[in-house]
Amino acid sequence: MSARILYGKDFAAQIKESARVEIESLKNKFGVTPGLAVVIVGENPASQVYVRNKHKTCVELGINSTVVAMPETSTKEDLLAKIDELNADKNVNGILVQLPLPAEIKAHSEEILNRIDPLKDVDGFHPVNVGKLVTGSPALVPCTPAGCIEMLDLAGIKIDGKRAVIIGRSNIVGKPMLHLLMARHATVTVCHSHTKNLADVTREAEILVAAMGRPKFVTADMIREGAVVIDVGINRIAPKKLVGDVDFDAAVEIAGAITPVPGGVGLLTVAMLMKNVVTATKLQLKIS
Ligand code: NAD
């Protein structure tokens, strides 16, 4: 039996539409147009594509988008000063620093990201937002895992009571995913590079999230029959060939539902960023 394919574009369109409606209502009821500032340092071509994509989506939904392009030679102090300026700017509701930063300042990434006002931290990386996520307070949550939860809801897939397994424990995907699934009453196990007998654990999963960055690592024998498989991995195996962390062709025969790569989770991330800009604006206006 072949699995239901969870196409990211269908869910991303729904997430963006709900953001658009909220943006309209912020304009009409409060006279506020949400604003996003994306800081990009240097000329990294992949980062430029991501930033263009974010800008385009902002324009499409009616968010004021500012791209702050800074030279490759920018210092840590230059970035901190720019973030202070954006923190103080009332027209900017969300701030995002596109990663990775150039090699010369990469070591200061954490200090730079932590300078962003937590209420404007639309990537959800600030320790204040991480703490709120863990304690269950309203927070800005990293876009990729938040998008996965939205997708499950929109697809009508129940989380409550399910056995969930996440492969990967990064701050961007694995750890926030743990808290999001746990908050929705799943029983969650997080696996990582030191996990023994990985397949024994993953075979228990009714919801399996692969976020490890290893091309086609998750094979059919690691998947429980009928499981919902969310493939977060994006691995470039040739100049024009992207694959996920899951061996899709084999997994599709055993899973109940599965996201493809490309065309799956990747498309949800930008859509969720737009929702986070709306959430940040509402948090700043103290409205729910
Ligand atoms: P990361 O490198 O920070 O973390 C990878 C995690 O996988 C680590 O916790 C590690 O312990 C675990 N891992 C690695 N090898 C393993 C193994 N053999 N067995 C078990 N666990 C193993 O990566 P990340 O930032 O979380 O990203 C993971 C993947 O998701 C990457 O392919 C990345 O490109 C992709 N990603 C996609 C999106 C999106 O928008 N779809 C967003 C973020 C990340």
**Strand, helix or coil for residue 167:** strand
Whether residues 95 and 173 share a domain: the answer is no
Catalytic residue among 16, 82, 98, 231: 98
Distance from Cα 101 to the centre of ligand 1, integer Å: 19
d(Cα 91, Cα 131) in Å, to the nearest integer? 26
- State the CATH number of the domain containing residue 100: 3.40.50.10860
**116 & 148 share domain:** no
Do 8 and 268 contact (CB within 8 A), yes or no?
A: yes
Q: How far is CA 243 from the centre of its chain?
A: 18
Question: What is the per-residue pLDDT across 87-109, written as a single tens digit (0 to 9) for each?
Answer: 999 999 999 999 999 999 999 99
Our mutation pick for probing the ligand 1 site, out of 232, 243, 247, counting the most ligand atoms within 8 A of Cβ, is: 232
How many structural domains are present in the chain? Answer: 2
Atom number in ligand 1 closest to CA 268 = 40
In short, whether 147's Cβ falls inside 6 Å of ligand 1 is no
CA of 263 to the centre of ligand 1 (A): 18
Locate all alpha helices (DSSP H) within the chain, ordered by sequence: 8-30, 45-61, 76-88, 103-106, 109-114, 127-135, 143-154, 174-183, 198-202, 248-251, 266-285
In a domain, 17, yes or no: no
Residue 244 in contact with ligand 1 by CB distance below 6 A:
no
CA-wise closest residue to 165 among 223, 252, 98 = 223
Which ligand 1 atom is the nearest neighbour of the CA of 269? 40
Same domain for 95 and 165, yes or no, is: no
251 and 161 in a common domain: yes
Q: Is the CB of 259 under 6 A from ligand 1?
A: no
Residue 223 CB less than 6 A away from ligand 1: no
**Å from CA of 64 to ligand 1 middle:** 32
Among the listed residues 109, 67, 107, 108, the one whose alpha carbon sits nearest the alpha carbon of residue 86: 67
Q: Is residue 188 part of a domain?
A: yes
Query: Which pLDDT value is given to residue 273?
Result: 98
* Identity at 210, one-letter amino acid code: A
Whether residue 5 lies inside any domain: the answer is no
Say if ligand 1 is within 6 A of residue 212 CB: yes
pLDDT at residue 124, as a whole number = 98
Provide CB contacts within 8 A for 270, sequence distance 6+.
Answer: 12, 53, 54, 57, 143
Answer yes or no: 123 catalytic: yes
Three-class DSSP category at 160: coil
Closest by CA position to 102, among listed 123, 121, 120, 78: 78
Q: Which tens digits make up the pLDDT trace of 43-87?
A: 999 999 999 999 999 999 999 999 999 999 999 999 999 999 999
Same domain, 152 and 200: yes
Asked whether residue 41 falls in the same domain as residue 113, the answer is yes
The rounded distance, in Å, linking the Cα atoms of 98 and 53 is 12
pLDDT on residue 288: 79
Residues 189-216 have pLDDT tens digits of 999 999 999 999 999 999 999 999 999 9
Dist. CA 198–CA 190, nearest whole Å:
10
Residue 1 has a pLDDT of 64
The reply to whether ligand 1 has any atom less than 6 angstroms from the CB of 34 is: no
Which two three-digit tokens encode residue 151? 């997708």
Q: State mean pLDDT over 19-31.
A: 97
Question: Is the CB of 232 within 6 Å of ligand 1?
Answer: yes
Q: Of 43, 47, 139, whose CA–CA distance to 97 is shortest?
A: 47
Q: What is the extent of the structural domain holding 48?
A: 30-120
Q: Which is the catalytic residue, given 16, 54, 82, 162?
A: 54
Tens digits of residue pLDDT in 113-161: 999 999 999 999 999 999 999 999 999 999 999 999 999 999 999 999 9
> Looking at the domain assignment, is residue 129 inside a domain?
no
Q: How far is the CA of 233 from the centre of ligand 1 (A)?
A: 6
Q: What is the pTM for the complete model shown?
A: 0.96
Same domain (yes/no): 88, 183: no
Q: Is residue 225 scored above 70 in pLDDT?
A: yes
Hey, what long-range contacts does 26-29 have (CB within 8 A, 24 or more apart)? 26/278, 26/281, 26/282, 26/285, 27/62
Is residue 174 in contact with ligand 1, taking CB distance under 6 Å?
yes
87-90 — which CB contacts under 8 Å span 24+ positions? 87/115, 87/116, 87/117, 87/120, 89/37
Residues 152 and 214 grouped into a single domain = yes
Same domain, 224 and 180: yes
Residue 181: CATH number of its domain:
3.40.50.720
Residue 81 lies in a domain: yes
Q: What share of the chain is helix, strand, coil (3-state, %, to 5)?
A: 45, 15, 40
Same domain, 80 and 152: no
Question: In angstroms, rounded to a whole number, what is the distance separating the alpha carbons of residues 169 and 127?
Answer: 16
Residue 268 CA to residue 234 CA, distance in Å, equals 13
Active site annotation includes 54: yes
Mean pLDDT of 251-275: 97
Specify whether 98 is located in the same domain as 179: no
Same domain, 87 and 159: no
